[in-house]
Amino acid sequence: MNAIDLLLTRQSTPLLSAPAPDKNNLDTILSAGMRVPDHAGLTPFHFTIVEGEGLVNLSHIFVEAIKSPNIEQAKIDKTAKMPFRAPLIIIISTQYQEHEKVPKEEQLITAGCCVHAMQMASVALGYGAMWRTGALSYNDSVKKALNIDVQNDIVGFLYIGTKTKVLPLKPTRFYDDRVSYL
Ligand SMILES: Cc1cc2nc3c(=O)[nH]c(=O)nc-3n(C[C@H](O)[C@H](O)[C@H](O)COP(=O)(O)O)c2cc1C
């Protein structure tokens, strides 16, 4: 797939199964994540790889984070299943640095670019991927359990795996009402 085709046809795949990208492909995906625009070269991000037993651990972390006296069992069950929607998850979090010229907002954008770059690399390698967040991304006990400082942000859970079926290409979105000329 050439670069323009990749850019013009990217879409997410919610349903993913094993196999996950092998070591070489994961290396390519992570390297794409490192190639993002990064003001002052601060590398203000961190990638946490979750696969195998890690998915089980993440499931426990999610369940612990939502536990409360009146929580419904159905909610616990649904939350426990979430990490198993793919055989590999890369958690992208910020690692904000103090810098006189680079505000946190720019560092957050750079970390977001990492997610996009790694989704694109995954798609280019023939895998499916989906960027997810949700309330658990903003949950301090989830951050703590993942060794992410609460001052930092979880930018995304990038679910990656093998597509279970070929999804039709979503319709093109036209730019006409999003573009103006000065
Ligand atoms: C920061 C961010 C967080 C997202 N979180 C979720 C999520 O938690 N659940 C979800 O279904 N989609 C989420 N999405 C949207 C999907 O990744 C996806 O882009 C959307 O479903 C549109 O599909 P497409 O990527 O095929 O165009 C998120 C997207 C972004 C950029």
Tell the residue nearest (CA) to atom 27 of ligand 1.
Answer: 11
Q: 44 phi and psi, to 5 degrees?
A: -85, 50
Closest CA to 129 of 137, 120, 139: 120
Q: How confident is the model at residue 1 (pLDDT cuts 50, 70, 90)?
A: confident
Token pair for 151? 């001052």
Token pair for 35? 């190639």
Separation of 133 CA from ligand 1 center, angstroms?
8
Tell the residue nearest (CA) to atom 22 of ligand 1.
Answer: 12
Contact between residue 80 and residue 18 where contact means Cβ atoms under 8 Å apart: no
Three-state DSSP at 37 gives coil
Separation of 88 CA from ligand 1 center, angstroms?
17
Tokens 């972390």 sit at which residue?
Answer: 61
Token pair for 125? 């390698």
Separation of 13 CA from ligand 1 center, angstroms?
10
pLDDT digits (tens, 9 = 90+) for 56-90: 999 999 999 999 999 999 999 999 999 999 999 99
CA–CA gap between residue 5 and residue 2 (Å, rounded): 5
Record the pTM: 0.97
Q: How wide is the angle at C-alpha 149 spanned by C-alphas 146 and 107, nearest 5°? A: 110
Domain ranges, ordered by start, for the chain: 3-164
The pLDDT of residue 149: 98
Average pLDDT over residues 1-24: 96
Contacts for 64 with CB less than 8 Å, ≥ 6 apart: 141, 145
Average pLDDT over residues 113-142: 98
Q: 51 phi and psi, to 5 degrees?
A: -155, 165
CATH T-level topology, domain 3-164: NADH Oxidase (3.40.109)
38 DSSP assignment: -
The pLDDT of residue 33: 98
**90-129 residues labelled b (16+ CB within 10 A) or e (exposed):** bbbbbbbeeeeebebebbbbbbbbbbbbbbbbbbbbebbb
Contact between residue 130 and residue 13 where contact means Cβ atoms under 8 Å apart: yes
Closest CA to 155 of 137, 175, 174: 137
Residue ranges around ligand 1 (CB below 6 Å): 11-12, 130-134, 156, 170
pLDDT digits (tens, 9 = 90+) for 29-65: 999 999 999 999 999 999 999 999 999 999 999 999 9
Three-state DSSP at 156 gives strand
